[in-house]
Amino acid sequence: MKVGVVGLGTMGAGIAQLAVEAGLETVGREVTDELGEKARGRIDHFLTRKVEKGQIESYDISLLSTTTEVSDFSECDVVIEAIVEELDPKRELFAELEKVCGPDAVLATNTSALSVTEIAGAVSTPERVVGMHFFNPAPLMPLVEIVRAERSSDEAFDTAFELAEKLGKHPIRCHDTPGFVVNRVLIPLLNDCVRVLDEARVTPEDLDAGMKHGAGWPMGPCELVDLVGIDVHVNASEALWEKLREPRMAPPARLVAMANAGLLGRKSGRGFYSYDS
């Protein structure tokens, strides 16, 4: 099986790393050669560390080629899109992919909050389009949601499920509903937690300790939102609110204000907590 990954940012590079680790020929696309080479170097670095730690025996970085051309996906069996989380760019990309990929190639989107069915609507063969929602960081998080859109074929759905298993993941099956499974549950729950900060006049430290030691969470809600990225959470929350109009889905004012102030969590050095760069 030959795998394509469009976009080698945090998510795309993680997915490409998994494919190389699984021994699959992989093509990764970035907008410039320089960005592609940087991503390839990061993947090589992370896999080298895994060998040094004894987590894997070996790997072959030559399995990964980088490109700036969509046409280089022509021989891929599955292409996974991991570009910006906006509908129009994704639809434009899928229309391009349909022109260059073989008729049996599966086109998958890694979207976390957009409708897979709407993305599939950009192509004349929507039966080949599915969702493969990896969780961040993709090399570490075991779950992948395999999302069946309105017109996804059984063959495309099964191919995506089998690929996730080949990548060492635990895939689950779900339909194309807002938030799929995990985010449909987790986003309003995290919003509730943030509202409690103000309503119960509790500190982030105490709220996190309460959920870890009282509810068995491995990480507190404030730590988790800082890790995910406050801007990312706000965007996903707004997408769910737009689709469902359930009050719990709307991002709390406190998170919106933090995002607007550039307090994005770990990646900006400060969110609910401060982090050393």
Q: Which two tokens stand for residue 205?
A: 């430290």
Laid out side by side, the sheet with 78-81 consists of: 64-67, 25-29, 2-6, 78-81, 106-109, 129-134, 143-148, 170-175
What's the DSSP call for residue 251?
A: P
State the pLDDT at residue 113.
82
Catalytic residue among 25, 30, 133, 237: 133
What's the DSSP call for residue 174?
A: E
User: With b meaning 16 or more CB within 10 Å and e meaning fewer, what string describes 245-263?
Assistant: eeeebbbbeebbebbeeeb
CA-based torsion, 252, 225, 93, 179: positive or negative? negative
Q: Is 162 a catalytic residue?
A: no
CA distances from 16 to 32, 41, 42 (A): 17, 12, 11
- Say if strands 25-29 and 64-67 run parallel, antiparallel, or are unpaired: parallel
pLDDT higher than threshold 90 for residue 137? no
Q: What is the pTM of this model?
A: 0.91
Q: Mean pLDDT across the chain, nearest whole number?
A: 96
Q: Is 145 a catalytic residue?
A: yes
Catalytic residue among 115, 152, 183, 237: 183
State the pLDDT at residue 276.
85
Q: Is 45 a catalytic residue?
A: no
State the pLDDT at residue 112.
87
Q: Are 142 and 169 in contact (CB under 8 A)?
A: yes
CA distances from 105 to 24, 42, 82, 148, 204 (A): 15, 28, 17, 16, 47
Q: Which two tokens stand for residue 62?
A: 């030559």
Looking up tokens 């491995």, which residue turns up?
Answer: 218
CA distance 125 to 127: 5
Q: Are 91 and 122 in contact (CB under 8 A)?
A: yes
Which domains, ranges and CATH numbers included, belong to the chain?
Answer: 2-175 (3.40.50.720), 183-268 (1.10.1040.10)
Catalytic residue among 112, 115, 237, 268: 112
Letter for the amino acid at 49? Answer: R
State the pLDDT at residue 154.
98
Q: Is 21 a catalytic residue?
A: no
169-190, pLDDT tens digit by residue? 999 999 999 999 999 999 999 9
